[in-house]
Amino acid sequence: MAVQTVASTSNPAVDLGPAAALSCRECGHRVPLGPVFACEECFGPLEIAYDFSAYDSEELRRRIEAGPANIWRYAPLLPVPSDVAGKPNLNPGWTELVKADNLARELGVTGGLYVKDDSGNPTHSFKDRVVAQALEAARAFGFTTLSCSSTGNLAGAVGAAAARAGFRSCVFIPHDLEQGKVVMAAVYGGELVGIEGNYDDVNRFCSELIGDPAGEGWGFVNVNLRPYYAEGSKTLAYEICEQLGWRLPDQIVVPIASGSQLTKIDKGLQELIGLGLVEDRPYKIFGAQAAGCSPVSTAYKAGHDVVRPQKPDTIAKSLAIGNPADGPYVLDIARRTGGAVEDVTDEEVVDAIKLLARTEGIFAETAGGVTVGVTRKLLKEGVLDPAKTTVVLNTGDGLKTLDAVAGTGLTATIRPNLDSFREAGLA
Ligand SMILES: *Cc1c(COP(=O)(O)O)cnc(C)c1O
Ligand SMILES: [Zn+2]
């Protein structure tokens, strides 16, 4: 069965809409909704189980279409209270699905190529979607401080969401992030702490803090609120299908950091099928990594089920998670759907950023360079079918990673007269 349901809400104290319980992804053990993330039986990750049994698909489709032009149009499918749209929130989502005909021509795609451009979110990355869910969970559980471990984009999304909602924020990042990301996280006025180490060190530190009295009352969006946070990525799947006219894409290329986004896009597509909102036909999910941090694509290519951690070294810092929590699930999904996981070098990432900008007027951050670069590579290898409808995610804004294209600049410098203009060969 595609859509997981349980009988009724086991914790009437919290109103999180259709969310009914937390369920272990490994053993299926269920616990009431709460700020917990690991199974007490097997330490497996918990995820949200819903009760969608009351929905009629035609009615649900009409309700969604009549909803606001942001993620809350899908509130009936998310772990949020029914009055969420009235609360102070950044209201991300409903970003443009760009029909990328120029890029398609360049890459030889004939079946329709689309870029889901999530740089259009309030803090210019897809992270606003996931933080919006975590914020509602934090409210429901009575937290007043919002926190996270971040590779950069999440820090800004948490800082901004906390500012809007009147929460305190204190977020943790590796000390050596891109300046653009540091400024974009700090400007919202919350506390921003650099940790001497990489993302995996930051994450380990946050797990320690949660178990300590110093972290009491803190909602870590990607740790103790992770089950709620993760559901935000489903809205990407919902939007893509709705924007295609309630149709599944044939192929979708998704970046991998922890792998959460990719697994929840699959969950979102499965839910739409289960709810009868799209026709049940096959789709393929492809994962994209940077070669300098490619634990999942390395495991995929080796035919392994386990993901061996790596020490990241890549310009795609937003994807630089060397020990991705959802890695094994990503491998399952790529294999089950007939997709693949591939990686590209930093040089290919930069080329792809420029290709997307030149063909479609979209300036992507390095993560977008990774997905476009992997798309190009998989087309060349004959793994992606050019005759199929293909959606490529751009999850962040190029203004955050200007260093990646630092060599780009003036075509010419001339004196302010026509002779000089002609001499430069620009006429
Ligand atoms: C966080 C992030 C992702 C995906 O992260 P997951 O941990 O795999 O869910 C993708 N792109 C950008 C720009 C991000 O910041
Ligand atoms: Zn379990």
Same domain for 202 and 309: no
Asked whether residue 81 is assigned to any structural domain, the reply reads: no
163: how many CB neighbours lie within 10 A of its CB?
18
Same domain for 381 and 276: yes
Predicted local distance difference test score (pLDDT) of residue 86: 87
Same domain for 206 and 259: no
Q: Which domain holds residue 111?
A: 97-124+231-405
Instruction: Give the residue from 303, 270, 265 showing the smallest Cα distance to 286.
Output: 265
Protein residue closest via CA to atom 7 of ligand 1: 258
Strands lying side by side in the sheet with 19-24: 30-31, 19-24, 46-50
Same domain for 361 and 224: no
Same domain for 372 and 280: yes
73 vs 229: CA distance, rounded Å: 17
Same domain for 306 and 183: no
Q: Quote the mean pLDDT of the chain.
A: 94
Q: For the whole model, what pTM was predicted?
A: 0.94
Decide: 153 in ligand 1 pocket, CB within 6 A: yes
Protein residue closest via CA to atom 5 of ligand 1: 257
Q: Is 62 helix (H, G, I), strand (E, B) or coil?
A: helix
Asked whether residue 117 is assigned to any structural domain, the reply reads: yes
83: how many CB neighbours lie within 10 A of its CB?
10
Alpha carbon of 31 to ligand 2 centroid (Å): 10
Decide: 318 in ligand 1 pocket, CB within 6 A: yes
334 vs 354: CA distance, rounded Å: 28
pLDDT beneath 50: ranges in the chain: 1-11
The count of C-alpha atoms lying within 13 angstroms of the C-alpha of 347, restricted to the half-sphere facing its C-beta, is 0
- Token readout for 188 is 């919202």
Decide: 149 in ligand 1 pocket, CB within 6 A: no
Predicted local distance difference test score (pLDDT) of residue 13: 67
Decide: 255 in ligand 1 pocket, CB within 6 A: yes
Same domain for 266 and 137: no
Give the CATH number for residue 340. Answer: 3.40.50.1100
Decide: 327 in ligand 1 pocket, CB within 6 A: no
Asked whether residue 89 is assigned to any structural domain, the reply reads: no
Alpha carbon of 301 to ligand 1 centroid (Å): 21
Same domain for 307 and 249: yes
Count of domains observed in the chain: 2
Q: Are 208 and 218 in contact (CB under 8 A)?
A: no
Residue burial 188-210, b: 16+ Cβ < 10 Å; e: rest: bebebeebeebbbebbeebeebb
Asked whether residue 288 is assigned to any structural domain, the reply reads: yes
Decide: 123 in ligand 1 pocket, CB within 6 A: no
Q: How far is CA 276 from CA 58, 66, 252, in A?
A: 9, 18, 20
Protein residue closest via CA to atom 4 of ligand 1: 257
Asked whether residue 393 is assigned to any structural domain, the reply reads: yes
Decide: 395 in ligand 1 pocket, CB within 6 A: yes
Asked whether residue 224 is assigned to any structural domain, the reply reads: yes
Q: Mark which of 170, 205, 229 sits at the end of a domain.
A: 229
- What lies within 8 Å, CB to CB, of 103 at 6+ separation is 109, 113, 115, 355, 356, 359, 360, 372
Predicted local distance difference test score (pLDDT) of residue 2: 38
Decide: 367 in ligand 1 pocket, CB within 6 A: yes
Same domain for 394 and 293: yes
Asked whether residue 59 is assigned to any structural domain, the reply reads: no
Q: Mark which of 210, 229, 248 sits at the end of a domain.
A: 229
Instruction: Give the residue from 165, 226, 152 showing the smallest Cα distance to 192.
Output: 152
Same domain for 256 and 293: yes
Same domain for 341 and 246: yes
Same domain for 400 and 252: yes
Alpha carbon of 37 to ligand 2 centroid (Å): 11
Asked whether residue 69 is assigned to any structural domain, the reply reads: no
Amino acid at 32: P
